[in-house]
């Protein structure tokens, strides 16, 4: 005799996209997450399940939003997104947002010449 246990939910990350967060009101990276309904037998999953929906979550404030696949050029895989900055993410996933990005100022240390994208009070290279 086999007793069917029911179904349970499973989330699987698909990748990263850029969009304007409704909570932060700025361009942010969003994790795209697929939600599956998986049948189980005594809490042991039986297969991969059925895709029930896809949502996206802001990586800064964790606000959950609906995901419209047609709005984005592509979904950047998580492993590629780890090494990229927000500007590259916008270019690859949602290029219409380029005008909404803040102008980046490069900061340069007067003592050693070290440069980075964000302003700094003390140079991370030489400490001045």
Domain annotation covers residue 108: no
- pTM for this model (two decimals): 0.68
Domain annotation covers residue 128: no
Domain annotation covers residue 114: no
| Structural domain range at position 50 | 6-101
Domain annotation covers residue 18: yes
Domain annotation covers residue 48: yes
Q: Summarize pLDDT for 27-71 with one digit per residue, the tens.
A: 889 999 999 988 877 766 677 778 889 999 999 899 999 999 899
How many residues in total does the chain contain? 128
Check: CB of residue 104 under 8 Å from CB of residue 90: no
Whether 103 has a pLDDT exceeding 60, the answer reads no
Domain annotation covers residue 51: yes
Check: CB of residue 112 under 8 Å from CB of residue 128: yes
Domain annotation covers residue 113: no
Domain annotation covers residue 117: no
Tally of domains within the chain: 1
For residue 30 the two structure tokens come to 């969003």
């Amino acid at each position: 005799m086999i007793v069917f246990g029911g179904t349970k939910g499973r989330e699987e990350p698909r990748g990263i996209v850029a969009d304007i967060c409704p909570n932060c009101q700025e361009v942010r990276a969003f994790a795209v997450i697929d939600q599956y309904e998986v049948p189980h037998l005594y809490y042991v999953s039986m297969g991969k399940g059925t895709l029930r929906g896809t949502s996206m979550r802001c990586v800064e404030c964790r606000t959950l939003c609906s995901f419209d696949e047609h709005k984005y050029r592509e979904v950047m895989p998580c492993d590629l997104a780890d090494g990229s900055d927000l500007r590259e993410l916008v270019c690859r996933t949602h290029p219409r947002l380029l005008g909404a990005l803040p102008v980046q100022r490069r900061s340069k240390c007067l003592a050693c010449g070290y440069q980075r994208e964000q302003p700094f009070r003390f140079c991370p290279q030489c400490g001045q």
